[in-house]
Chain A
């Protein structure tokens, strides 16, 4: 059951990546276009459909949850292998690129909060 969960995740991952690669191929840009996003969508759909049919076993979820919990450690490892020595010269750019989006998005906050939720 545990492996079935991992296999479900792997299946969604591969199909999503194939969609992303194919899309990039046919758009003529030789890049992966949103493969990870498609894979996430597929996983959500697959889980919801399986649950509807009562086929989603708890242990299957645990197989996926393990990877979900490995997410931050993997991101930490990914940060550790970047070319930070060269990027360091652009530290100020990174700082601004982190701050400005927050400031801009905050402007929308009062506008959206006032709107009616329908």
Chain B
């Protein structure tokens, strides 16, 4: 038994690929069979990751979730900042400035408003819960943007892992809320044309949530909303650990 665990740890990254693959497979299944694709598989998978991290923490009383369990230490590499940032940067591929220009100034304005006000709302709530250090506040504010902006910002400013976990959870809640809520709220906010879909994508960010929510509203709107939403994470990763962090530091 000992030598098998040693072997698993030696090939940690590969083991992590396998286990994550199984998790993603099951969450896709849950998404299709149990929620009729109403909840995106990605949101379920990330939530599953948090649950597993919780179980890992309970079992080992460690700080690194599932990676504290012998044989699964490779998760630290796959889920670490290097792979994460590398994968996030790659999603910028295919974006073109021509498309941004076509979206017009309103689309760009919606992006900035979306990031800044999500950040402020997140910081405000964290502050109300008694968190006062700038790094943690910034991280939770960033998590209120998306579940990616939160951890990227948290790592950049040096926040602790439990604060980063909160920021991911906040982003996942947002993603699920947008997914489920979009079809219900669409008639009240005039979400029925490409322009409003682009504004909606810019304000909400959370690409998976926006895409899934718009798909449930009107599939024709998906590419428009997704177009602005893809820029949201990039803008968030750019602004949260820099301008917004410094602004918050200056205020507090």
Partner of B239, one of A31, A37, A40, A117: A37
Q: Which residues of A contact B71 (CB under 8 A)?
A: none
14 A-B contacts, Cβ less than 8 Å apart?
A: A34-B242, A36-B88, A36-B156, A68-B93, A70-B87, A70-B90, A73-B20, A75-B42, A77-B49, A80-B75, A81-B79, A84-B53, A87-B165, A93-B129
Q: How many A-B residue pairs have CB under 8 A?
A: 324
Q: Which residues of A contact B78 (CB under 8 A)?
A: 73-74, 77
**CB of A92, distance to nearest CB on chain B (Å):** 8
Partner of A108, one of B76, B117, B170: B117
Q: Which residue of A lies closest to B135 (CB)?
A: A31
Residues of B within 8 A of A (CB): 16-17, 20-21, 23-24, 42, 45-54, 56-58, 61, 63-67, 75-76, 78-80, 83-97, 104-106, 109-110, 113-114, 117-118, 120-122, 124-126, 129, 140, 143-145, 147-148, 151-152, 155-158, 160-174, 176-178, 181, 185, 189-191, 195-196, 199-200, 203-204, 208, 234-239, 241-242, 245-246, 249
Going nearest first, the 5 A-B pairs with the smallest beta carbon separation are A37-B238, A98-B173, A85-B57, A79-B49, A77-B79
Q: Which residues of A contact B117 (CB under 8 A)?
A: 101, 104-105, 108
For the complex, would chain A's binding face be called helix, strand, loop or mixed by DSSP majority?
helix
Within 8 A of B (CB), among A71-102: 71-88, 90-102
Instruction: Give the complex CA separation of A96 and B58 in angstroms.
Output: 25
Q: Which residue of A lies closest to B77 (CB)?
A: A77
Within 8 A of B (CB), among A13-60: 13, 16-17, 20, 23-24, 27, 29, 31-41, 43-44, 47-48
Contact call A76/B48, Cβ cutoff below 8 A: yes
Contact call B58/A101, Cβ cutoff below 8 A: no
**CB of B67, distance to nearest CB on chain A (Å):** 4
From A16, A61, A82, residue with most partner B Cβ within 10 Å: A82
Contact call A102/B79, Cβ cutoff below 8 A: no
**Given contact pairs A82-B161, A94-B169, A99-B173, A113 touches B195 in the complex (Cβ within 8 A):** yes
**Given contact pairs A79-B168, A99-B173, A108 touches B20 in the complex (Cβ within 8 A):** no
Q: Which residue of A lies closest to B181 (CB)?
A: A102
**Given contact pairs A67-B90, A94-B173, A34 touches B239 in the complex (Cβ within 8 A):** yes
Q: Which residue of B lies closest to A12 (CB)?
A: B89
Q: Which residue of A lies closest to B119 (CB)?
A: A101
Contact call A83/B161, Cβ cutoff below 8 A: yes
Q: Which residues of B contact A34 (CB under 8 A)?
A: 156, 237-239, 241-242
Contact call B118/A101, Cβ cutoff below 8 A: yes
Contact call A33/B241, Cβ cutoff below 8 A: yes
Partner of A82, one of B58, B156, B168, B237: B168
**CB of B239, distance to nearest CB on chain A (Å):** 7
Q: Which residues of A contact B234 (CB under 8 A)?
A: 37, 40-41
**CB of B52, distance to nearest CB on chain A (Å):** 5
Q: Which residues of A contact B196 (CB under 8 A)?
A: 109, 113
**CB of B22, distance to nearest CB on chain A (Å):** 11
Instruction: Give the complex CA separation of A86 and B117 in angstroms.
Output: 27
Q: Which residues of B contact A76 (CB under 8 A)?
A: 20, 23-24, 45-46, 48-49, 79
